[in-house]
Amino acid sequence: MYNKISGFSDEIASDINVQFEAIGKLNMKYFEPRFINGKSISVLNDEEVIALKAKMDECGIKASSIGSPVGKIKLTDDFDAHFEMFKRVVKTAKMLDCNFIRIFSFYHDGGEWTADERALVLERLKMFIEYAKKEDVILLHENEKDIYGDIAPRCLDILKELACDNFKAVFDPANFIQSGQDTKEAYEMLKDFVAYMHIKDAMKEDGKVVPAGYGDGNLKYILDSLFANGFDGFLSLEPHLGSFEGLADLELDDKMLSLEESGEGKFILAYNSLVELL
């Protein structure tokens, strides 16, 4: 079995003890911390991070990447305060012995992206990257619907401009589908930059998230190609098969909020679907 399977275990339960117990049953050795006991990983203080690390050590679990909300604000929001939050996330990552931090490339007020907005996105990402270089962490840009880097051409724009040892790509098939982007086309454009996979599938028809391999995300094609090219990065389960505490803070629309409750069963379904693909 591939030994770098991780996941957003906050979709199992809010309580970190329940999260770790559940992923332990699956013999998973990694998780992607996003919400810890109902609090965003970005707002934990030193004492809370130390307690989390102690629990991780006790359970033999490591962090694959910090599931941060960095870059998930509008370009018109307070960037100075956001950058301070980013620095807090970097400190947390280092305290958890984690090299990777997931980030985004900002929202705007809608419509076509302007040249000025693009320039501002790149300028702010450069600031993140320069700090990451200084602190020796690696930022992973996730394609997310409605941000600048939501479709493959704009992701490629960002990565051609900024990719380096401290800035690479997360590939999320479901997010591309929900942005109207064909995932094979996206993969072929971005494959040289992909360092980390989110295992999430969806249907083109309505954007509904489904277990890996059951949607239009071409996950088998993508994983086959990645492994053929020597990929040995993390495969991180982001099931989104039900609602969970913190979901409202992640989604801009209410499509996901009408789902029945998430939990261990749905996480196991997501895990087993990935194992079947592998």
Closest residue by Cα to residue 165 from 195, 196, 198 = 195
What are the residue ranges spanned by the domains of the chain? 5-277
CATH superfamily of 5-277: Divalent-metal-dependent TIM barrel enzymes (3.20.20.150)
Q: For residues 107 and 170, what is the distance between their CA atoms, to the nearest angstrom?
A: 18
Closest residue by Cα to residue 213 from 229, 198, 202 = 202
Task: Please say whether the beta carbons of 82 and 103 come within 8 A.
Answer: no
Going residue by residue through the chain (278 aa), what tens digit of pLDDT does each one get?
789 999 999 999 999 999 999 999 999 999 999 999 999 999 999 999 999 999 999 999 999 999 999 999 999 999 999 999 999 999 999 999 999 999 999 999 989 999 999 999 999 999 999 999 999 999 999 999 999 999 999 999 999 999 999 999 999 999 999 999 999 999 999 999 999 999 999 999 988 888 899 999 999 999 999 999 999 999 999 887 654 355 456 555 544 444 445 578 889 989 999 999 99
- Of the chain, the end-to-end C-alpha distance in Å amounts to 8
